[in-house]
Amino acid sequence: MRVIMASNASARDVGEVVRIAHEETGEPHRVEVAALNGRLVVSIRGPGPAVDPGVFASMSGVESVEDAEPVYRLAGTGQVAGDERSLVKAVVELPDIGVAIGAEAFVVMAGPCAVEDEDDLLTTAKAARAAGARLLRGGAFKPRTSPYSFQGLGEEGLSMLARVRAETGIGVVTEAMEPAAVERVAQVADIIQIGSRNMQNFPLLREVGRQRKPALLKRGMSSTLEEWLGAAEYVLSEGNPNVILCERGIRTFSKHSRHTLDIGVVPAIRERSGLPVVVDPSHATGSSSRVPPMAKAALAAGADGLLVEIHPEPSRALSDGFQTLSLEEFATLMNDLRRIASAVGRTL
Amino acid sequence: MRVIMASNASARDVGEVVRIAHEETGEPHRVEVAALNGRLVVSIRGPGPAVDPGVFASMSGVESVEDAEPVYRLAGTGQVAGDERSLVKAVVELPDIGVAIGAEAFVVMAGPCAVEDEDDLLTTAKAARAAGARLLRGGAFKPRTSPYSFQGLGEEGLSMLARVRAETGIGVVTEAMEPAAVERVAQVADIIQIGSRNMQNFPLLREVGRQRKPALLKRGMSSTLEEWLGAAEYVLSEGNPNVILCERGIRTFSKHSRHTLDIGVVPAIRERSGLPVVVDPSHATGSSSRVPPMAKAALAAGADGLLVEIHPEPSRALSDGFQTLSLEEFATLMNDLRRIASAVGRTL
Amino acid sequence: MRVIMASNASARDVGEVVRIAHEETGEPHRVEVAALNGRLVVSIRGPGPAVDPGVFASMSGVESVEDAEPVYRLAGTGQVAGDERSLVKAVVELPDIGVAIGAEAFVVMAGPCAVEDEDDLLTTAKAARAAGARLLRGGAFKPRTSPYSFQGLGEEGLSMLARVRAETGIGVVTEAMEPAAVERVAQVADIIQIGSRNMQNFPLLREVGRQRKPALLKRGMSSTLEEWLGAAEYVLSEGNPNVILCERGIRTFSKHSRHTLDIGVVPAIRERSGLPVVVDPSHATGSSSRVPPMAKAALAAGADGLLVEIHPEPSRALSDGFQTLSLEEFATLMNDLRRIASAVGRTL
Amino acid sequence: MRVIMASNASARDVGEVVRIAHEETGEPHRVEVAALNGRLVVSIRGPGPAVDPGVFASMSGVESVEDAEPVYRLAGTGQVAGDERSLVKAVVELPDIGVAIGAEAFVVMAGPCAVEDEDDLLTTAKAARAAGARLLRGGAFKPRTSPYSFQGLGEEGLSMLARVRAETGIGVVTEAMEPAAVERVAQVADIIQIGSRNMQNFPLLREVGRQRKPALLKRGMSSTLEEWLGAAEYVLSEGNPNVILCERGIRTFSKHSRHTLDIGVVPAIRERSGLPVVVDPSHATGSSSRVPPMAKAALAAGADGLLVEIHPEPSRALSDGFQTLSLEEFATLMNDLRRIASAVGRTL
């Protein structure tokens, strides 16, 4: 919100607006006074529900109040109902499979990058389930840099996911790439993934916000936290209260791994939003040998879960084989994670 | 393409594949030999039309050939018909308004960030035309970080653009944000803009590729040149030969301006693609005082045109006023550009 | 400067401090009011000479004034004597060779990356001079990523530079890498270069500040403008008023060229500092074909000069041959630059 | 190393060189074949001791062999004596205080950013020791962006560190900023810190390489892993075998914390170097609330230790108070780390 002072406002008027601005807003807010075109402007910024502009409109020396809504409001509270200002941690419930994301349990979602073969998918789902994973990840629709690359099996891939889900009881997380596909993906998926490239595909976000399945919103490759929470807000503001954030590596100058996994965003989110956050170490590092250390780091830093690529035979995977764990490597990782989970007060 | 050698292939076999790979491909190609899982793999990468895999499939010691298509093929030649390998500069013709982008003339597109008011728009179009601009830019649909920000006038904005176009004869470039909107935008626009956030919205790119109006494809905030040309390829490969690339600043650590305008990508494109390229100094810098020097730099570096924000009264603009030139500032800039254009052998 | 208000200060007191803060400081200053530990703090930040803290110390409601010096003060004015607040453009005079940097003339410094061979150096110096370059660049001491790479000819290289300077009358710019070497380098050089890796080597900066030869301060690979001006301030504050800034590309995710040449920093400097600024397109792009377009862009954007790598036979250069122009390519570039210089009101 | 093939070399000759190159080098090496000026060049790159060029020099079809030394050699093995090629983990022994870095124990170094007050320092050292820290960190010489900022107590700070070390038996790690200061710092410090800004201050690195105290080498703000290991090589190649790498955050576009802590570099180092690596979450995050989660992440990812800022009363610290833990917060963190250390098979 910006309170524009009249050109003949007294210093006392300004001081009073500043004082009230501090009184009316909680700690994370910032109150700044700047000179703009010869007038003083008091700007008030912060994550939570905005201050009532009426408070200022009638004060002495105030010319006008611009009630700029904050970039995000629902994402900043972790609550979609009620109007408390405090940062309550949101829990995304998946009652069909008895899973809660954002609660005590660390939730692992594992599977192939792209759904390719039903036998492999079934083998993967059973092994993932046995090792402790609660959801099967796998793309039926794949966004690819080149139009000539494998784009996923599409509808056939969705059907495979549905059958494997029915047979094993594991949950499914899979991507929707355009508004027109959301309804069909929602029939199969327990969680609808929104990919990095689509983090600011606003028509898609709105469409996902209009249905009931939770969304897993991957961070854009160069998105700030504010933009990410703004994107979550598009889903939340349409009425879907269930958004899970997913950190998957950012673009930096650094070249030792494919992207730079920004583990530090996990505690940063905790200070600004109640939404659950999971981490994808597979896409971030691009190398299977780096996945286990980064998975452990994510858990230790406070993430609520993981998205991990696994495959019965990684070298056969059509997409992203280098970063994929074998089923055995995954089982070993899960055991290691279980010990750390216990050390940090979580279950797995 | 990757040529996988048999485990019992002789060194001579390898050498022969390498030699042929170099013979069959043009200069920008790279031929690499790597050991993978105990076998030698000769990989051949590059922009142009791929080598025929059949050349290698029958060679001694070759186990298999993976014919990975290059990320982009049409974007790499600047030609959508024919099969010459050379880098021919593409020219995007706009016959309705007598403009060609990518030819001798430096083409300036100017207007408000968002279409807000029809009188302002008409004033702007007339002033832009008088100063030498050939197209009016203006968003009817605006992608915004927050769902609570002004999202554009939508259909009403398109109608305003259509009326102003009819009255002044200036061309129109405006954005389409989703596949379902492309047809309607194409009725009004001379060029359909695809925004940075949608650079890898592949369903949108394909839809734009299926109609006839040229596309102006803004670079994603952290896109590599390869990803950008891959995105262009989505449009080109659907049959639309007219893509104009638009550099608009990238995300870096640097904070003295909103983004870092990567002027160096202009000559980089020239070495890999024949597509025309224009530069948007307004969004890149976020500051009207920085727009003129960067506009001049773009022209001097070889860009084919500009996208500039102008407004009759920048401080009244609802969106991005700080980076908007007044009509007077724009006229001055055009005069300055005219002198430089003459010095570098172009017209304006 | 931070003015800490007493806990019982009235709103009027606060308003008065804000008003005075705006009155006492020029436009580029920012005045902010924040709550800290239950008290209001008015902070005043900006480039120019600081406001007298005494102005605030005695005001009603003020508890204390912290007179934090700005990061840079001399670099922000372009003046090292006098106390005017305005941004005066500094001109670095090189009377021995009749050159002024920061004035009307666009000053080109050209030569090999590293001094290797005296005949080549002499040939280069003559050709550079003939084409219009005013200084010869060439490293005698070379900072290299690996201890096993060629580290320059050292003292022998300096002697070569001195002889070529004596014979041709061209000025010399060469690098000093440690405080102990500054005195010797200053005997030969007209300008002492401080390399990117040493931008924040503060003992070296101070030593260069204690002698009389101008410094050419290359921007660090990931330095903000504030850090860069802070580094300049280390030289200026020791009494050496002659600092030339040199943009040479920054580290970003972008991979189409070696670094990303941040041309936009040129107008950004103009708004915050009077120091002259030159651009090094050779190191930035790492490719000789990209040097001419970026050199032209730098001139058009308002830079005061260039640092360009040239060599009689680039493929023979021991260091950085790929980015080096031949003498013929350089002469062509200079002719192109001359036309643009004339179009933008400068000489060459 | 680059093997340049003669222009009349046969394909068989090329294949044989490629085969031998793969045979002679270990897995992390890359063998590439490229065409350069009409000739094939086989380049062999990798971290370990180079292949003997003599192996290739006499082969059929080989014109010449360029024995480019790798950027780093000693840093790539973790061994400074012997010539085994394998990646042996180096352990830096500090016999005076009975500490080994790079072995089973996770080594925590804690203390104030800058040494300011002897009583505070003694209190800090005792609390750090009691909580399990093995070294006291604290700067006597502080590199600062502005010449007007507090630059450390200098010699007086060193003396304080020496007295506190004598009284408490805790080890000391402190920074040397220039070659001339190394000898004096080495008299007091158990480990000499080389700061981020000096990572490529090669004269300083060489000087530290010529004395016996271990070096803690902080990563430059935008350094690649290769540059960092190259910098380590400057120390190692002078004969000092004891280098500890320290990740402290890199410069990226991301703004939610001061820098982006690149936890992923820890496993990346493990694949390329045997040198121990520690992490500094305080400078990286710039916020005390973020330090504990990132410290835990570093341990879980496999780091060998931490550098943490602590102070009896963080709000009183002259430098970097925002990122400093109180002594109580530090004790809590150490307890949390102890549980995770046990879960990952380490001691604390």
Tens digits of residue pLDDT in B255-299: 888 899 999 999 999 988 999 999 999 999 988 999 999 999 999
Give me the pLDDT at residue D321, please. Answer: 65
C-alpha dihedral (C170, C173, C174, C177), degrees to nearest 10: 160
Average pLDDT over residues D296-309: 98
pLDDT band (50, 70, 90) for residue C78: very low
Average pLDDT over residues C31-38: 64
Closest CA to B218 of B233, B208, B203, B228: B228
Cα distance from B111 to chain D (closest Cα, Å)? Answer: 29
pLDDT for residue B300 is more than 70: yes
Q: List the 207-236 stretch of D: residues with Cβ below 8 A of B.
A: 222
pLDDT for residue A48 is more than 50: no
Rg (CA), chain B: 23
The answer, as to whether pTM is greater than 0.90, is no
Cα distance from A39 to chain C (closest Cα, Å)? Answer: 11
pLDDT for residue C187 is more than 70: yes
Average pLDDT over residues D36-49: 63
Candidate ranges A315-324, B32-41, B173-182; pick with highest mean pLDDT: B173-182
pLDDT band (50, 70, 90) for residue A79: very low
- Across all residues in chain A, what is the average pLDDT? 87
Q: What 8-state DSSP symbol labels residue A82? A: S
pLDDT for residue B316 is more than 80: no
pLDDT band (50, 70, 90) for residue C195: very high
HSE-CB at A190 with a 13 A cutoff on CA atoms is 24
Cα distance from D203 to chain C (closest Cα, Å)? Answer: 7
Give me the pLDDT at residue D131, please. Answer: 98
Q: Which of D16, D35, D253 sits opposite B251 (nearest CB)?
A: D253
Mutate to test the interface with B, among A41, A151, A178 (most CBs of B within 10 A): A178
pLDDT in tens, A246-272: 999 999 999 888 899 999 999 999 988
Cβ neighbours around D81 below 10 Å, total: 8
Give me the pLDDT at residue B177, please. Answer: 95
Rg (CA), chain A: 23
Indicate the range of B190-204, B305-319, C257-271, D18-32 predicted with least confidence.
D18-32
CA-based nearest residue in chain B for residue D28: B35
More confident residue, B77 or D10: D10
The answer to whether residue A34 neighbours chain C at the CB level (below 8 Å) is: yes
More confident residue, D87 or B231: B231
**Residues in contact with D94: Cβ distance below 8 Å, sequence separation at least 6, in sequence order:** D100, D101, D135, D171, D190, D191, D214
Q: Which of A268, A285, A290 sits opposite D290 (nearest CB)?
A: A268
Contact call for C263 and B267, based on CB within 8 A: no
For B323, C111, C197, C299, the CA distances from C306, given in Å and listed in that order, are: 28, 11, 19, 8
Give me the pLDDT at residue D67, please. Answer: 65
Give me the pLDDT at residue D147, please. Answer: 87
* φ and ψ of C100, to 5 deg: -125, 125
**Residues in contact with D95: Cβ distance below 8 Å, sequence separation at least 6, in sequence order:** none
Average pLDDT over residues C189-209: 97
Closest CA to D21 of D6, D2, D35: D2
How many CB pairs (< 8 A) connect B and C?
A: 127
- The continuous run of DSSP H or E covering A205 comes out as helix A202-209
CA-based nearest residue in chain C for residue B281: C264
pLDDT for residue D256 is more than 70: yes
By three-state DSSP, how is residue C92 classified? strand
Residues in B touching A180 (Cβ below 8 Å): 179-180, 203
Give me the pLDDT at residue A80, please. Answer: 37
Cα distance from C268 to chain B (closest Cα, Å)? Answer: 7
More confident residue, A164 or A320: A164
- Is residue B195 within 8 A of residue B221, CB to CB? The reply is no
Query: Cα–Cα distance between D68 and D53 in angstroms, integer?
Result: 10
Give me the pLDDT at residue B67, please. Answer: 65
Query: Cα–Cα distance between D112 and D124 in angstroms, integer?
Result: 8
β strands within chain D, DSSP E: 2-5, 30-36, 39-45, 62-66, 92-94, 99-101, 107-111, 135-137, 171-175, 191-194, 215-218, 243-247, 277-279, 305-309
Candidate ranges A41-55, A227-241, C3-17, D42-56; pick with highest mean pLDDT: A227-241
Give me the pLDDT at residue B5, please. Answer: 82
Indicate the range of A82-91, A320-329, B1-10 predicted with least confidence.
A82-91
By three-state DSSP, how is residue C307 classified? strand
Share of chain C above pLDDT 70, in %: 87
pLDDT band (50, 70, 90) for residue D65: confident
Query: Cα–Cα distance between A47 and C77 in angstroms, integer?
Result: 38
pLDDT band (50, 70, 90) for residue B68: low
pLDDT band (50, 70, 90) for residue D27: very low
Give me the pLDDT at residue D237, please. Answer: 92
pLDDT in tens, D72-113: 778 876 443 333 334 678 899 999 999 999 999 999 999 999
pLDDT for residue D272 is more than 80: yes
Average pLDDT over residues C221-227: 93
Give me the pLDDT at residue A82, please. Answer: 38
pLDDT for residue B27 is more than 50: no
By three-state DSSP, how is residue D109 classified? strand
- Is residue D326 within 8 A of residue D311, CB to CB? The reply is yes
- Neighbors of chain D by Cβ distance (3+ pairs < 8 Å): A, B, C
Cα distance from D341 to chain C (closest Cα, Å)? Answer: 35
Give me the pLDDT at residue D169, please. Answer: 95
The answer to whether residue C252 neighbours chain A at the CB level (below 8 Å) is: yes
CA-based nearest residue in chain B for residue A151: B202
Residues in D touching B12 (Cβ below 8 Å): 11-12, 15-16
Average pLDDT over residues D10-23: 75
Average pLDDT over residues D199-226: 96
Contact call for D203 and C315, based on CB within 8 A: no
Tokens of D33: 């074949």
* Distant-in-sequence contacts of B23-30, Cβ < 8 A, 24+ apart: B24/B51, B24/B52, B24/B55, B25/B51, B26/B85, B28/B271, B28/B272, B30/D34
Q: Which residue has the tokens 């209009």?
A: A210
Give me the pLDDT at residue A72, please. Answer: 75
C-alpha dihedral (C315, C316, C318, C323), degrees to nearest 10: -30
Burial class (CB in 10 A: 0-12, 13-18, 19+), D285: buried
Q: Which of B257, B260, B299 sits opposite C300 (nearest CB)?
A: B299
pLDDT band (50, 70, 90) for residue A25: low
- Across all residues in chain B, what is the average pLDDT? 87
More confident residue, A46 or A316: A316
By three-state DSSP, how is residue A216 classified? strand
Alpha helices (H) in D64-201, listed in sequence order: 74-77, 118-131, 155-168, 182-188
HSE-CB at D176 with a 13 A cutoff on CA atoms is 30
Of chain A, the end-to-end C-alpha distance in Å amounts to 43
**Residues in contact with B281: Cβ distance below 8 Å, sequence separation at least 6, in sequence order:** B261, B290, B291, B294, B295, B298, B306, B308
Residues in C touching B346 (Cβ below 8 Å): none
Residues in A touching B234 (Cβ below 8 Å): 147
Candidate ranges A271-280, A332-341, B253-262, C247-256; pick with highest mean pLDDT: A332-341
pLDDT band (50, 70, 90) for residue A9: confident
Cα distance from A69 to chain D (closest Cα, Å)? Answer: 21
Tokens of C320: 């950085």
